[in-house]
Structure 1
Amino acid sequence: MPKVLISDDLSPLAKQIFEARGIEVDQIVGLTKDELIAKIGEYDGLAIRSATKVTKDVIAAATNLKVVGRAGIGVDNVDIPTATGAGIVVMNTPFGNSITTAEHAIAMMFAIAREIPMADASTRLGKWEKNRFMGVELTSKTLGIIGCGNIGSIVAERALGLRMKVVAFDPYLSPERAVDLGVEKVELDELFRRADFITLHTPLTDGTRGVVNAAAFAKMKDGVFIINCARGGLVVEKDLKAALESGKVAGAALDVFEVEPAKQNDLFAFENVILTPHLGASTNEAQVNVAVQVAEQMADYLLDGAVTNALNMASVSAEDAPRLRPYMKLAAQLGGFAGQLTETGIKKVVIEYEGDAAQLNVRPLTAAVLEALLRPLMDSVNMVNAPTVAKERNIEVSEVKHDREGDYHTLMRVTVTTEKQTRDIAGTLFANGDARIVQIKGISIEAQVTDNMIFVVNEDLPGFIGNLGTILGSAGLNIATFNLGREAAGKEAIALVAIDGAVPQDVLGQIRSLPHVRQVKHLKF
């Protein structure tokens, strides 16, 4: 009989579900790290929220652990790479608290618009300052939503019901999906310029960190309101402080902070700032939803091997797993490569399977491509829900199998059509199972994917390679491999350079400034 430990405060329904399915369960809340390490070896499953930290040391001691289930979205408290290496499936419940978080953002918007917490405190002191608290109406105001995915779309729906105008910035929001939602899709600078209220609903990634900063505030209307119930770090707090002091920002409502728990913060001193302690998912309904979902998902996996909402595993049968494993790696590399190069909304994805690949069960491969393609801006996407996410965003996904065998015995090709361009990338497997990129944008190039790579598109003219090598050498960046391809002499060329380490932004800027360079990207895998 499988045995599960619930180490955080979950709804009692979670324990009831495990027991009803015949799974032995212990609920022990408040374990120290050492206590958890001492006990975890007894269990096949670990159900958590955010308090339990599943670190390398915990995983090393978890000799029988098969699955970690996070009741909620964020898995910052789980070392997913280490869990993956140990063969432990990590699941979450990405949709269980979406409505609750969206409603909290709407509530915060109302509260800051009408200064409700401040008026409440004043009234309790017997001041009756009726003329002091002159709020603003939401009706006819423009709400700018940064990130119009699952939560952001719910916020948009509620705001439209309040007769607000809604503009949204989301690179993955298709024009068709925007029409369905009733929002106007705009670029980020235009959102900053037009919005009376700005609310954030995007994950914290390298691309979104500090998205609301001093430069952004300079583009906004005077008297704008800022609401952040997504992730601390999206808003640069020192820049928000300066914008509040100058009057550029009329008020802010924050549920998340750069450092949590936020026991001290310069923003605490402002009367026109509303602060809550990361309450976005804190309703009875949400807590029940995520607890029930995580218990059901974990029980399904432990008893039947079914995988739902896994962050590090596709839905693959036991029979297919050994054969699919190298193809899954190739699919993730192709999708990740295309996703990191995509900067505008995706309209269509075509995944082609040729030769040996065409004989496989390609559904998990397609899911792996989509997961890696969408992940750069959507931290809750996984190989299970990626097809659903793509469908919700009106991304047309096609699988094409070719019986023919071309230059390679097996080939996968991913073609992504965005609002501005179509780009394709193809890869193969060598006899030893090693994955290789063999074509980008129709240009032949052979490259092995590494942790850090620089992708450069340039005109094929003399001097480029030397200049690029000089910049990297001067920055102390060692080149592991250097792969080149070109359309024709003097035409478009591609360089794919593997680097031993991360590439600083100033180095990328120097490369962009080279003559005849059209595009530069730092790719991380």
Structure 2
Amino acid sequence: MTEILKLNDISKVAEAPLGENYKLVKESADPKGIMLRSFNMHEYEIPSSVLCVGRAGAGVNNIPIQKCSEQGIVVFNTPGANANAVKELVLCGLLLASRKVTAGIEWTNTLKGTPDISKQVEKGKKAFVGPEIYGKTLGIIGLGAIGALVANAAIALGMKVIGYDPYISIDGAWHLDNHVIKETDISALFAKCDYVTLHVPLTDSTRELVNKASIENMKDGIAILNFARGELVNNEDIIEAVKSGKVSRYVTDFACDELLGVDNIICTPHLGASTPEAEDNCAVMVARQMVDFFENGNIVNSVNLPRCQVARQGKCRLTIFHRNIKNVINSITAVISEEGVNIANLVSQSKGDYAYIIIDLDDPVNDHVIERIKSLDNIIRLRVL
């Protein structure tokens, strides 16, 4: 029985794709995998037995990616599994940014116990007038799984949509409504839009993407939505912009002390993927990816290695996690050749400083061959399947 250590509660639907040979446990002396959601692993001592980490969700800021790579641990996530849940909350945020719903609810609650509430409501509702989103322009930064769904939904609601994504995939482009206008200049997008929603990962280039300088390029009275990562927005600058009226509303799923209690800033408690459907989708997806990796060495949706997936050939499979240095493959195949074993198939993929090889052999190899390969320079982890 292969034990997978869960560092958060994981939906029970993950048990079906795991099957009888795998077990999710809360404690283990020898786990082969780790499954988690939001648990912060940066100060966590990862057991040496761990082969992979599966994040039941898209964001991996809570996982020490570099540390895992150095230990030969593959890190998986589940991009797109929670996309519909986030899309629906973004649409909710879009309406909250327009119609002053939250302020209206708060005011209405103050009327409890007072006479003639219906008359007071009719008199006071004019303070909460807000525009419709129909016919307005929505700018979407990032057209991945979530951004594309938001774009298509906004088009269906009668909005004009401008999208910015210099890294859009071919598959992503195919799923995008053809009414979405493509923009290559993010500053131009800011200047044209009534609303902007962010759907990009947090990287050095996207950190504080919304700041004083970028806000100056925006249309007066713009509303900004952030259901991606809190650090994409400079909080000090957004507060100043909201107070001045340059930004009419800021709606974010990432509450923090300085944002709370500021008029026209709406904070939700990180609800983006908090639906039973999203949790189930993420759990099933990451479980399937981990099982395929354990049993076949295939890699799908890894954040530290590229996709490397191939049907089995031959009687033995080797998978090798190594540093992306030239001549590593030559050294490995030379050892196999010297031992008189024929290679049925070989697939190699690299990403940054690391690479991964799947080698199918016509015959099983003995421990001597394995130890020779392990002893080669730049080999981090080797598995025999």
Instruction: Give TM-score scaled by structure 1 length.
Output: 0.56
Alignment coverage as a number of residue pairs = 325
Equivalent of residue 238 in structure 1, options 236, 248, 262: 236
Pick which of 8-17 and 242-251 moved more: 8-17
How large is the RMSD of aligned CA atoms in angstroms? Answer: 3.1
| Residue of structure 1 equivalent to 2:129 | 134
Instruction: Give TM-score scaled by structure 2 length.
Output: 0.76
1:399-419 superposed Cα distances (whole Å, 9 cap, x missing partner): xxxxxxxxxxxxxxxxxxxxx
1:472-500 superposed Cα distances (whole Å, 9 cap, x missing partner): xxxxxxxxxxxxxxxxxxxxxxxxxxxxx
Q: CA deviation at 1:54?
A: 2.7
1:2-23 superposed Cα distances (whole Å, 9 cap, x missing partner): 11222211112123543x3322
| Residue of structure 2 equivalent to 1:299 | 291
Contact 1:144 1:195 in 2 (8 A): yes
Between the two structures, name the one with larger relative contact order (CA 8 Å, sep ≥ 6). 2
Asked if residue 21 in structure 1 is aligned to residue 20 in structure 2, the reply is yes
5+ unaligned residues in a row in structure 2: which ranges?
112-119, 311-315, 328-342, 357-375, 379-385
CA distance change for structure 1 residues 89 and 268 in 2, over 3 Å: closer, same or farther? same
Equivalent of residue 57 in structure 2, options 72, 75, 99: 72
Q: CA deviation at 1:173?
A: 3.8
1:39-71 superposed Cα distances (whole Å, 9 cap, x missing partner): 5532112111112x3346512xx1322221110
Q: CA deviation at 1:203?
A: 1.0
Q: CA deviation at 1:197?
A: 0.5
Secondary structure of 1:253's partner? Answer: strand
CA distance change for structure 1 residues 161 and 312 in 2, over 3 Å: closer, same or farther? same
Contact 1:192 1:219 in 2 (8 A): yes
Secondary structure of 2:187's partner? Answer: helix
Asked if residue 184 in structure 1 is aligned to residue 171 in structure 2, the reply is no
| Residue of structure 2 equivalent to 1:58 | 45
The one-letter code sitting in structure 1 at the alignment partner of 2:152 is E
Q: Distance in 2 between the 1:361 and 1:115 partners? A: 61
5+ unaligned residues in a row in structure 1: which ranges?
29-38, 332-358, 373-381, 384-431, 435-525
Q: Distance in 2 between the 1:166 and 1:362 partners? A: 44
Contact 2:3 2:28 in 1 (8 A): no
Q: Distance in 2 between the 1:329 and 1:158 partners? A: 45
The one-letter code sitting in structure 1 at the alignment partner of 2:38 is S
1:489-517 superposed Cα distances (whole Å, 9 cap, x missing partner): xxxxxxxxxxxxxxxxxxxxxxxxxxxxx
Map 1:270-289; keep pairs closer than 5 Å: 270-289=262-281
Q: CA deviation at 1:93?
A: 0.9
Contact 1:141 1:196 in 2 (8 A): yes
Contact 1:67 1:90 in 2 (8 A): yes
Q: CA deviation at 1:234?
A: 1.1
Equivalent of residue 206 in structure 2, options 199, 208, 222: 208
| Residue of structure 2 equivalent to 1:156 | 151
The one-letter code sitting in structure 1 at the alignment partner of 2:243 is E
Q: Distance in 2 between the 1:57 and 1:130 partners? A: 52
Map 1:54-453; keep pairs closer than 5 Å: 54-55=41-42, 57-59=44-46, 62-126=47-111, 128=121, 129-173=124-168, 177=173, 181-186=178-183, 187-256=185-254, 262=256, 264-265=257-258, 267-314=259-306, 315=308, 319=317, 321=319, 325=322, 328-329=324-325, 364-365=348-349, 368=350
CA distance change for structure 1 residues 58 and 111 in 2, over 3 Å: closer, same or farther? same
CA distance change for structure 1 residues 210 and 55 in 2, over 3 Å: closer, same or farther? closer
Secondary structure of 2:278's partner? Answer: helix
Secondary structure of 1:46's partner? Answer: strand
The one-letter code sitting in structure 1 at the alignment partner of 2:109 is R
Secondary structure of 1:166's partner? Answer: strand
Contact 2:209 2:233 in 1 (8 A): yes
- Percent identical pairs in the alignment equals 36
Q: Distance in 2 between the 1:79 and 1:278 partners? A: 21
